[in-house]
């Protein structure tokens, strides 16, 4: 096994519990290896820090698999990691549809596996773990079967561009026998069709599961506006919870078509309607018309995926929150989210505060949440903490 020695003063994140070693932290590499192999990582003084996959094509050169000096990364090790993933979710989430493996936060860096009913969708993002993905899938099937959950098909969605930075090609398609890629799931009592082949990410945004449930008490007999509705998830939760009128808006015609199909699936098409529109254009138009809603939901895509575009993203978040607050009836509720890792909790809170000041609204925080528990946040691995979710009561200045 080759040995990677870090520069003096480097490895602080790793020592604190992080899972990555960057290329600029490395002093030297001794011994032969191929990219994707397991290597030892040592501090400048020879102190053992961990073992993990190496890939010199990537700025994230090493992804740590174990911190035990005597641990071999073999089949038994991988199976135990998989069992730990299932055990954790048995205790924390409804497993009918959930994320089974969340990369670094589940100590299996670079791989994501989602379960939609009896279908698995795998996304492999790093070279070393890519070599193990078939083994991980087989072990997941085995352990799930022991729990009475039989898997009938697996689809790969390794089409994220980050693979190119690893020197890997994009890959999609069936792993094993083909099946109908439009899968029906049930979450919070709402039925959805999930397109695991063509849908965004792995087909559906499972990370908002508990947050969608959190809006139910607000929505009975309410008039609700759901912005960036995608395939209608918050809008349909509002409908199931007893809203009298729901409007879901998204710029994607494909997403809106799926949302309308999901509304029919739940028998909600009379109370939950959708329209294709740019939210940034629509909100001022609704304000000019004097429209008001009891609940406004803002669940935008990540406005920034890098620090370089953060300033523009802040402007976008402030704009939609300001416009959204102005559309809320006095004493009504604003539900607002950010899924950008670079929009820190402090920065997001500050941006909402500035929007409230400019809108001349008083905010009373009902609750603050993060991603669902099947997307665990690993302390010291900041990349695993990305979703911020607030519910506020919006009050007029009096």
Is the pLDDT reported for residue 307 higher than 80?
no
**Reported confidence tier of residue 13, pLDDT bands at 50, 70, 90:** confident
pLDDT at residue number 309: 81
**Reported confidence tier of residue 190, pLDDT bands at 50, 70, 90:** very high
Average pLDDT (191-203) is 93
Average pLDDT of the chain, as a whole number: 95
- d(Cα 260, Cα 272) in Å, to the nearest integer? 8
Is 219 one of the catalytic residues?
no
60-66, strands of its sheet edge to edge: 20-22, 60-66, 48-54, 38-42, 3-6, 26-30
**Reported confidence tier of residue 341, pLDDT bands at 50, 70, 90:** confident
Range with lowest mean pLDDT among 267-271, 302-306, 375-379: 302-306
177 Cβ contact list (under 8 Å, min separation 6): 153
Average pLDDT (12-27) is 92
Q: Which of 98, 227, 337, 339 is catalytic?
A: 339
Buried b (16+ CB within 10 A) or exposed e, 73-89: beeeebbebbeebbebb
Give residue-wise pLDDT tens across range 107-151.
999 999 999 999 999 999 999 999 999 999 999 999 999 999 999
- d(Cα 194, Cα 123) in Å, to the nearest integer? 16
Rounded to an integer, what is the distance from CA 102 to the centroid of its chain? 9
Nearest partner of 109 among 135, 130, 90, judged by Cα: 130
Average pLDDT (321-350) is 96
Is the pLDDT reported for residue 398 higher than 90?
no
Q: Taking phi first (over 0 means left), then psi (-120 to 50 degrees means alpha), and beta for anything else, what does residue 394 get? A: beta
Average pLDDT (348-376) is 97
Is the pLDDT reported for residue 241 higher than 90?
yes
Is the pLDDT reported for residue 303 higher than 90?
no
Angstrom distances, CA of residue 301 to CA of 122, 126, 230, 279, 332? 21, 24, 9, 12, 24
First vs last Cα of the chain: how many Å apart? 69
Phi, psi of 113 (to 5 degrees): -135, 125
Give residue-wise pLDDT tens across range 160-173.
999 999 999 999 99
Average pLDDT (261-289) is 97
Rounded to an integer, what is the distance from CA 100 to the centroid of its chain? 13
Bridge-based pairing of strands 3-6 and 26-30 is antiparallel
């Amino acid at each position: 096994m080759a040995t990677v020695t870090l520069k003096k003063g480097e490895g602080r994140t790793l020592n604190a519990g992080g899972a990555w070693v960057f290329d600029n932290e490395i002093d030297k590499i001794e011994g032969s290896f191929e990219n994707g192999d397991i290597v030892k990582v040592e501090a400048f003084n020879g102190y053992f820090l961990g073992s993990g996959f190496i890939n010199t094509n990537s700025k994230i050169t090493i992804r740590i698999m174990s911190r035990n000096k005597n641990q071999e990364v073999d089949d038994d090790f991988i199976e135990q990691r998989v069992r730990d993933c299932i055990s954790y979710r048995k205790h924390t989430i409804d497993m009918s549809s959930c994320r089974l493996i969340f990369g670094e936060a589940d100590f299996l860096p670079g791989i994501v596996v989602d379960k939609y009913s009896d279908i698995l969708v795998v996304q492999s993002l790093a070279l070393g773990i890519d070599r193990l993905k078939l083994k991980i899938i087989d072990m997941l099937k085995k352990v799930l079967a022991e729990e009475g959950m039989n898997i009938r098909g697996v689809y790969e969605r390794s089409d994220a561009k980050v693979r190119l930075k690893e020197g890997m090609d994009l890959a999609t398609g069936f792993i094993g026998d083909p099946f109908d890629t439009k899968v029906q799931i049930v979450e919070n009592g709402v039925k959805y069709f999930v397109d695991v082949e063509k849908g965004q990410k792995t087909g559906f945004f499972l990370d908002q599961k508990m947050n969608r449930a959190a809006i139910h008490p607000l929505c009975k007999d309410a008039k609700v506006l759901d912005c960036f509705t995608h395939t209608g998830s918050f809008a349909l939760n509002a409908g199931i919870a007893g809203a009298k009128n729901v409007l879901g808006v998204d710029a994607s015609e494909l997403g809106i078509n799926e949302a309308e199909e999901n509304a029919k699936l739940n028998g909600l098409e009379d109370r939950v309607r959708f329209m294709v529109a740019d939210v940034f254009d629509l909100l001022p138009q609704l304000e000019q018309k004097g429209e008001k809603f009891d609940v406004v939901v803002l669940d935008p895509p990540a406005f920034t995926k890098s620090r370089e575009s953060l300033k523009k993203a802040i402007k976008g978040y402030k704009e939609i929150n300001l416009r959204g607050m102005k559309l809320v009836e006095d004493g009504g509720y604003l539900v607002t989210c950010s899924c950008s890792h670079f929009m820190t909790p402090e920065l997001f809170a500050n941006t909402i505060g500035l929007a409230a000041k400019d809108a001349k609204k008083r905010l009373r925080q009902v609750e603050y949440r993060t991603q669902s528990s099947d997307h665990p946040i690993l302390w010291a691995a900041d990349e695993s903490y990305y979703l911020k979710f607030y519910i506020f009561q919006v009050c007029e200045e009096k």
